[in-house]
Structure 1
Amino acid sequence: MKFPAKLFVVITILFWSGSSVSCTSESQKEEEVHQTPNVILILADDFAIGDLASFNGGITKTPSLDKLIDEGVYFNHAYSGSAVCSPSRAALMTGRYPHRTGSVTLNMQQYPELSRIAKSEVTIGNVFQENGYKTGLIGKWHNGLGEEYHPLNRGFDEFEGFVGFNVSETYFKYSLDVQGTYHDVDDKYLTNDLTERAKNFVNRHKAEPFFLFLAHYAPHRPLSAPEELIQNYLDKGFNKNTSTIYAMIEVMDRGIGELVDELKKLEIDDNTIILFSSDNGPDPIPGERFNVDMKGTKYTVNEGGIHVPFVVRWPDTLQPGERDQVIQFTDVLPTLADLLSLDVKEDLKWDGGSFRDILFDKNAAGDLPPYRYWQWNRGVPMYSHNAAIRDGDWKLVRPYVTRNVPDAESSARPVLYNIADDPSESVDVSDENRTQYQKMRVYLRQWARDVENDRLKIDD
């Protein structure tokens, strides 16, 4: 079975095709600006592959996202950077494993030093900003508290959003940070508000190159949505929590469709790359829901926790289709830099590689690492807990033990799966494949030592 890994990160790259103009005219400068690609990256929160109508038999309503998939390049084996929010976003923002960035756990209030991207790290905002793009982040920022770690000081010219705990009760009442000043909102629905702000950003900067990171909060807790939408799913027999989650997704999907329509109205849709994904799998706390028979949820490094939808749409440039190569969040920044020929500092050391060639050719290998790694536990990293390495079709997993802070290192035996034969991770094949098993155990230990050594050098 193929899973929709179409990065729900919708990157919108706008190529303006200007008309021929006189060399000395002012309009020539304007035309040159129009020829520079713009980028929109859309990220959902706790969104599952199984939340897409095109993968769940139509139990949800996601026409806009399904259309993006139909019109884009969809990756069947796309992975987030972590099983939880902050570290996953850190990988996406830097092209590096989250442990190297310092962002390794949840809860910015309880663990401020373990949930922020180190000041020495170069973010995706920095890279685009240094290449002349107007950069904006609308929505969730979960990678640092305090002025030094504020998005406005991490490569973004504009920020309209929240740090991760400013939406504590309901999507109908929240605080929003607009350019460093908080505003209380109680007359809007958060997801709709973020959509309108994204549309306004595109309109403000349509005549100059821009990079927009639209980081939706949906369908993350607190669960809240318009009652009439919730009722539609209750009438189908779903419980209240699942009905509310599906209603939240429906609102987000509608907003993504509105944003695409805005690009069409501005006549820049054909020159826009949209990249969409989710930061991790579905949250089990409100109750588990359909996710294409994948084992695990958010918090775990099993497929259900880190295998996410991933799609890249670029009309008239990328031919729609599926890809079976393994990609990860650490590849996104290197790929964009490659795709757009961005100038990047020579001393930048990314863990990911570029899948640019794969976007144009399903048989291309791309410039990608042979091995991929994940690890998460609450608090200071303990690499015997909830860690994984993928090598081709093989995946070695050190089992998930607890969502709480571990009491000690785990003695649970690692297990080996063949994802091509066993996408639900139900059969341990380590006994039949001892050489592969031992090799991957060694590589996972070596990686853990490497990234932990870098993490301990952080001097923020």
Structure 2
Amino acid sequence: MNRIGFFFLLLLTITTVKAQKNGTSRPNILVIVADDLGYATTGVYTNGKAKLATPNIDAIAKDGATFTEGYVTASVCGPSRSGLLTGRYQQRFGIYANCDTQKGPGVPASEKIMGTYFHEAGYRTAAIGKWHVGVKNEGQHPIDRGFDKYYGFNSAQTDYFNSPILFDGKTKVTKHKYLTFQFTDEAVNFIEEGKNNKKPFFMYLAYNAVHGPNQAPVDYVAKYTAKGFPKNIATQMAMVDALDEGVGRVLKTLKESGLEENTLVYFLSDNGGLPSWWEGSNAPWRGFKREQWEGGYHVQFLMKWPAKIPKGQVRSEMVYSLDILTTSLAAASIEKPKNIILDGTNLLPIFNSKNKNEVHKSLFWAGSHVPRSEGAFKEKMDEEYSKDDAPATWAVRSGKWKLVQMFEFGAVQLFDLEKDPTESKNVAAENKELVAKMSKEFGVWFKGMKEPIIWKKEYFNDLQKVK
């Protein structure tokens, strides 16, 4: 090698090392999804006044950014995860309600999801935990959708100690630890196995905690019964405790592997919490999971990337789970597809600004609604329809305004979420022009959405009438 060639190679090596130290090489990406995690179950969203300490989840906020206006696309698991994994409104491919994705349909194999994008870009990929978007039809299994590793189950819920539907790849698992611990082990092993691999990784770590059945290790429950909590509440607290511990172990592994600086981490819940949990666990929002109130889909939403995101930020931008794929593609310098509509926005530019930015002009919801928290309506839910084939509702969030209609309950309702975050005062009568404008906006957005794969066509037809 001549002198010029030697110095060129040396310069290239130095530049590469500098780029890696400065976090400019392709980042690892870790998407952590909790299940049914109430807004007020962690220290982050309660100013440290949560029922129990969650130091590891809180640390993501401390080392990165907390979003106070974070949303998911549905108030129930299956549709919410369908939107998250595709980066598209799930109504574009006919998902409006939950379904048993072991036996029935899920996200069509024709839809491109996160694993495929990153696998094609040369990433090591893993999907660990709850899948719940379908495996029955050809091409739906995680291994067929770009994930090198899959360890999890494909349904709404399963037993934490003895799951009959747990798989490693396509092989059934017969013995496992408490699932929160097992999924953490799988995530840790995946990170450690790639320590000497030059490829970055993408991991979708979807804990089933804290979804039912409410189960936790005896010693974890005992920590809280010893403090005087009833066993049912102590079990719930133990589930959150185990989840936080799992998150902590994964983050510690990143640090010990030298990957922390250049790993983009997200943490969010797939939807709001349940009314059966301890009082105030979904505060301050009205309503719960399966409802079109804020409590159904206004969720915990955290991000950190030490190389790029200044720590300790609290952001008030209105952000969406759909933003995760778009942001991750931008972070990895992967070009957005030209033939697929992605509905998310790249969030990275906002971290360079101290001011509030408009990320989305409006957000939309459309699908089934089960009135879990509205007194007599709970009885109606049990008597008149299945919770997974419930009547239609729709909503639009635009700036401070939220317009919502639950067809079985009557006319549209309008709320000023700045003045009335708990949706207690309907101001539709005083703002008829705004109601008309937002209704039209929904109608334009909904035009061209696909008929339901599951869910009654009559409910879909109701939504088509909104103008």
For the criterion TM > 0.5, the same-fold answer is yes
* Pairing of 1:154-233 with structure 2 (within 5 A): 154-164=145-155, 168-171=158-161, 173-186=163-176, 188-206=177-195, 207=197, 208-233=199-224
Match of residue 440 from structure 1: 438
Partner AA of 1:428 in structure 2: N
Is contact 2:102-2:154 (8 Å) kept? no
Give 1:333 shift.
1.0
Q: Which stretch of the first structure deviates more once superposed, 88-97 or 445-454?
A: 445-454
Partner AA of 2:169 in structure 1: Q
- Secondary structure (helix, strand or coil) at the match of 1:122 reads coil
Separation in structure 1 between the aligned mates of residue 318 and residue 205 of structure 2, nearest angstrom: 24
Match of residue 6 from structure 1: none
Separation in structure 1 between the aligned mates of residue 55 and residue 446 of structure 2, nearest angstrom: 41
Is contact 1:398-1:413 (8 Å) kept? yes
Q: 1:173 to 1:144 in 2, by over 3 A?
A: closer
Match of residue 13 from structure 1: none
2:398 aligned to which of 382, 391, 395: 391
Cα deviation 1:82-128 (Å, max 9, x = unaligned): 10001101111111111113333223258723xx1112211111111
CA RMSD of aligned residues (A): 2.8
Partner AA of 2:433 in structure 1: T
Is contact 2:74-2:365 (8 Å) kept? yes
Give 1:422 shift.
0.7
Match of residue 69 from structure 1: 61
Match of residue 290 from structure 2: 299
Q: 1:50 to 1:288 in 2, by over 3 A?
A: same
2:331 aligned to which of 339, 342, 355: 339
Match of residue 449 from structure 2: 451
Give 1:290 shift.
2.3
Q: 1:454 to 1:347 in 2, by over 3 A?
A: farther
Match of residue 384 from structure 2: none
Q: 1:111 to 1:397 in 2, by over 3 A?
A: farther
Match of residue 35 from structure 2: 45
Is contact 1:175-1:185 (8 Å) kept? no
Give 1:24 shift.
9.5
Partner AA of 2:215 in structure 1: S
1:85 aligned to which of 59, 66, 77: 77
Q: 1:238 to 1:81 in 2, by over 3 A?
A: farther
Give 1:350 shift.
1.3
Unaligned runs of 5+ in 1: 1-19, 400-408
Is contact 2:40-2:50 (8 Å) kept? no
Match of residue 253 from structure 2: 262
- Secondary structure (helix, strand or coil) at the match of 1:386 reads strand
Give 1:287 shift.
6.6
Separation in structure 1 between the aligned mates of residue 252 and residue 174 of structure 2, nearest angstrom: 29
Match of residue 419 from structure 2: 421
Is contact 1:87-1:104 (8 Å) kept? yes
Is contact 1:44-1:278 (8 Å) kept? yes
Q: What is the number of equivalent residue pairs in this alignment?
A: 419
Partner AA of 1:429 in structure 2: V
Separation in structure 1 between the aligned mates of residue 413 and residue 227 of structure 2, nearest angstrom: 39
2:326 maps to 1:328: no
Q: 1:41 to 1:169 in 2, by over 3 A?
A: closer
Partner AA of 1:193 in structure 2: Q
Separation in structure 1 between the aligned mates of residue 343 and residue 269 of structure 2, nearest angstrom: 20
Separation in structure 2 between the aligned mates of residue 304 and residue 380 of structure 1, nearest angstrom: 20
Match of residue 120 from structure 1: 110
Partner AA of 1:436 in structure 2: L
2:104 maps to 1:106: no
Separation in structure 1 between the aligned mates of residue 298 and residue 244 of structure 2, nearest angstrom: 20
Partner AA of 2:67 in structure 1: F
Is contact 2:274-2:282 (8 Å) kept? no
Match of residue 341 from structure 2: 349
> Larger Cα Rg: Structure 1 or Structure 2?
2
Separation in structure 2 between the aligned mates of residue 447 and residue 76 of structure 1, nearest angstrom: 25
TM-score, with structure 2 as normaliser: 0.83
Is contact 2:93-2:449 (8 Å) kept? no
- Secondary structure (helix, strand or coil) at the match of 1:50 reads coil
Match of residue 11 from structure 1: none
- Secondary structure (helix, strand or coil) at the match of 1:184 reads coil
- Secondary structure (helix, strand or coil) at the match of 1:68 reads helix
Q: 1:302 to 1:225 in 2, by over 3 A?
A: same
Q: Which stretch of the first structure deviates more once superposed, 209-218 or 227-236?
A: 227-236
- Secondary structure (helix, strand or coil) at the match of 1:250 reads helix
- Secondary structure (helix, strand or coil) at the match of 2:224 reads helix
Q: 1:256 to 1:168 in 2, by over 3 A?
A: closer
Amino-acid identity (%)? 32
* Pairing of 1:129-144 with structure 2 (within 5 A): 129-144=119-134
TM-score, with structure 1 as normaliser: 0.84
Unaligned runs of 5+ in 2: 1-7, 369-386, 455-467
Q: 1:148 to 1:423 in 2, by over 3 A?
A: same
- Secondary structure (helix, strand or coil) at the match of 1:92 reads helix
Cα deviation 1:367-387 (Å, max 9, x = unaligned): x441111123155685xx232
Partner AA of 1:394 in structure 2: W
Give 1:134 shift.
1.1
Q: 1:237 to 1:81 in 2, by over 3 A?
A: farther
Q: 1:126 to 1:230 in 2, by over 3 A?
A: same
Q: 1:157 to 1:316 in 2, by over 3 A?
A: closer
Match of residue 140 from structure 2: 149
Match of residue 374 from structure 2: none
Separation in structure 2 between the aligned mates of residue 155 and residue 353 of structure 1, nearest angstrom: 23
